[in-house]
Structure 1
Amino acid sequence: MSDSAEPEFGDAYELLTTSPTLPKSHSRTQRTTYTELKRQVAADLRSSQWGRGGVCFSMVIWVCFLVQTIILLCFFGSFSEYDTQWCPPDDVFRMTVSSGKNVRAAGAALFGIKDFFQITLAFGSLTFTQARCIDLFWDIAVGRGGQLILVFCLWKAFSAHVRKSMHAGPVSYHTYRLAFINDTPMLWSTLWFLRDIVTKRSGRSRGTMAFLATAMLFALAFPILVSAMTGYRADRMAFIEDERQSLTAANRFRSIAYIIHDGARILDTDKFIVPFIAEFTMGVTSRTELSWNLIGPVKCNNFEGGHYCNPLAFAASKYAQDYGFFGLNTTTRERIDRETLWNGTIVPRPALNISAFYFPNGSQLFGREWVDPRTSTRPFGGEERDLRLAVPGFSNRTFSVDNMIQHGICHPQDTYQWGFSFLQVFIVANLLLVWTMGVWLVWLKAHSSLLDSKFRVPSTYQAILALAENIQSQFGPGRDVEPEKLDQHVATELDGGRISIPDATPLPNISALKLMGRWIKRNGGWFVGLFLLTAYVAVGWIYTPLLPYVTLVVFDITVMFALVVGRTRQSRLWMLFGGGVVALIVGLCVLAALGPSVWIYFGILAGAKGW
């Protein structure tokens, strides 16, 4: 295959602007050698207009980033019941018990309108100075910097659309000045532009002009929106107060599986508390729970699903299954008066006195189905409120759920957290996506219509000269107007003025949606793959080990690059192959930079999840 082979997909920019149809490549039926494929890839890279291709590539990356952000926010919002905040923004201690699950922080509803102005996604443990500096940096870098980018992109689309509108009819002086002389929309100029739309002075396509005016208002308000959705707050820590008015951190408590009442016979103390497996500890999401328990419990292979568990919980479960609870013989209802076996150790008679409180449905530990021979009831298969919690190794005192809720308090700390208002971030992300797609389609339609036009966007001084000549011609020769009254004369006598392109020829009416739809249709399979990969990258970090995840992120960017630059299926596949190698190398470099401790952590975590 030669370099001049006709493209199968077409350059992204070219197809979006000029090509209504592109001939199909016959490369499917042609046997392509490695040398020809390499030449084909090189030809695609050389033929790409990197300035225009860079715009398309940046656009695809930005849209994918916004889509990923929205998917991630929806994912978090749907699981907001697993909020990690014992002390949500209202500083009221909250905890709850879910049916058959675990005791956890009740947190705040991320989509709750009452928390619209609260910082519901907070991070870090910062000093006041650090939190304040982060907030200022965000306002300047993201707020003002983002506004500059939005204004630049909006001005490009707006000037192209006004240029296209001038082929169909005149526009007002103000609209012309805003498009070609004032390259930054200001509040008053935007309001005057809205007036031109209402009074039909802005040319045709009033719907598009109205959208552009709304987009200008959004760009002007962007720093305010970005600043409003972030902030910092004093950190709060949850404590449980006992009858002696001493405080214990809430995150130290663990759900109790068993209590060995005569534990001193085999362990350290009587009334020895045995915590549950990690999946039923007092915590939040499973990954957080596992990270809390990696230093103590080990993997319990005897349970399906590879849960982390307390080895003593398994030992107590096995002992209770063999000898019963309370050391009772299920037949005689009397205490077993013989030697027993605890975790491979012989225990002198009588049997150990072990009891429990509550086992959720599906628990792998023995006890829920045990029948007390004295009462013929199942004492450990009751309601969730029967669950008890304690601080293992700290105190023999146990707390019921109701007792913890009643005595839970939130104390302010000397540190601060910086973060976001979840609902505001969600709204701004969706508005940004709508703004981006709308401005992109306006620019695409105008630019596609103007490809064959000889009229180009004038420079600032050219626009000033053209405007001055037009004003002079409309006022008539020899007319002298005082400078301070010029604005009044333009507004009254000229009704805002009109300016158009001399001898303008009608432009073809090209639908931007059809252009975009044609490109998506021709690249349908690639778009489906890109969407699925992008969606997984958005939420896959929760389930995927570090190396595969970093590799997928880099590979996702490679797919975007191949979609924009590659013109044939073969060249795209080779770009994906090269990008896959680069992605793997980047993943290995990131893993090597993090060090052996992170390898061990993710290795154990992968084993726990069954990867």
Structure 2
Amino acid sequence: MALFRIFTARTYHPKEVIGGDLEPCVSYCAFNASYTNAVPPTFPVWTARGTCTAACRKTDMMDEEEKKNDKNTTITVLSISPTLTEDRSTPPPYRGTWDNDSVPSPGKKRNWGAVFWKPKSRWIWARGDGWNTPSKPTTKATDKGFKAGYTCSRDTIWAAFKKFRSSRGQCFALALLAVFGLLPMVLLGVFTSGGPGYSPYQQVFSDKIMGCGQSLGSPQNATASGIQKLFVLDVTFGRYSFAAVKTIDVIWDLFIGRGFQICASWAAYKAFCDALLLVIERQPASFRIFQRIALEGPSLDSLWTLTKELFTRNDTRTKFLFSYMFVATLYVLMVPIFLGAMTGYDSTNIPWINLDDSNNIVPASLIKPSWVALGTKNETFKHPACVDWSVVDKARQMDTARFGRCIYDFPGNMQTFTYDPYWSDSYDQTLESGSRQRNSNHAERPGNASMDIEINGQKYDYATLKSESGYCYGDVAYDYTYFEDRTRCLPDTANPSYKWGFATMMSGLFIFLTFGWCTSLYIVWQHAQCKSTLVQTGYTMTPLRAAFAMAKAAKKKTGLAEQQLIRAYTEDLENELYGRAGLVATSIEYGLFVEEPGVGDADQMYHGVRGVRARHVRGEVDVEAK
């Protein structure tokens, strides 16, 4: 039997009670002036969900009969507490319908900006007040920064991006920059980092140690430093004959060296011509510089002409451009020299060992790692003896098996042990090569058997010998530290061969220069693409167009016809065109590239490249009509 406690903290219509939205609230009644006799309940109070207010019970409760007679009968349910004897495990059936008639309060969209930037309430502790004070100017400064960044990106960056011509030429230029500029830099940083945890390009400028296979310590005179390491071939491949390695070197110089120079010259010609058109739009260019750049391309003559132009030009921008052209042209001319210097071939060296201080050297392949017997427990040998590792390995394994499996040091011992050998050294092990083989000689031996090793014609028990590791040349034993720093890298005279490879430092310098050259050339070309009117209309300079422009300028300057220009004296013509003998040099003006009415064609006017294309189309139509 459930005990219902009814209070008047909140009134509900009877329809609201059935299926009402209630929740337990454990709180206490706050004393109020209007409820002086209120008694704070100490039991859980069921109130409407979301309100969770303390219920106060009034002492003067209304009579039950008066509530029944009231038209708007209301019932306030604040707590439903089962008795102690009632089963609490089974929830009452009305709990399943309490949430049906609930009316959720309308959700309000939260202003997250106010949450982060404008706190609704001030902190009540001291540090909160101090932090809240400078937050307003900081917020204003941040807002200004965001607005300025947005304005810049909208008006400057986005405007420039919209003007960017995503043509095939632009994509091709970016691809060339990535392949010839960026990719070699990445590969060089990966292969010269020195391993994980090291900075890239670390091995480019470090001292070079020229190794020659397995050697004892660092080879003598093998460290290259200073200017020597610039040309040292420290990354080599293969063993070739002289004819084969020479063929590889010639192919490299011909196809890689000259081929890369051709590609660089073509790229420089394109960029220089567009930049020269931009210069001509600002002020006329001399006949000589136009000839060197637009007709001939990067060459030694263009270097000399650019040098003279630097002393005759007054425009700072033009001087800077011609200075860059001088350096870029010099790089193009030096490409084959760089590529030839960073590669090469050298004789294949092998390690040689200096046995003593009298330059008595022998190949390292004749020096064998060996077991050196120094003597017995009671005797020291005058000269240490060499014993092959295979013999010592067998004796050592037998001694270990005997020591671990039986007791043999008492008279009348009859115990036996089984020799179970593991890997042993082969007889042909040297400094440069060696192998280990499986010995399957399983045998049962007596526990008191001696492990005899023959040294200089006498037999010694292995257990009584004193020994150490070392090296042997012939019958002479050497301490394992004797050959430290006695190795020399010298050519293999018995089997002469050659290797081909790269000089790391020279290769790194060339890649750095190439990256700078590619990046700067792309910037110059891109500047002309964005600033030159002729380039933006699609005009492209070629050697043929340059020849026509020069012929037109020469005809205009000298007043000679085509036939007269062809048969004129070269010296007199050069003086007038190049400005020698006190004459004013011929200049290439912007008007030469804007078509004007010609002889026999006075009724036609074509402006810019679009007019030239229209004229070309009209000519094709006339030919088809005929």
TM, length-normalised to structure 2: 0.47
Computing the radius of gyration over CA atoms, which structure comes out larger, 1 or 2? 2
Q: Which has the higher contact order (CA 8 A, sep 6+)?
A: 1
Bigger proportion of residues as helix: 1
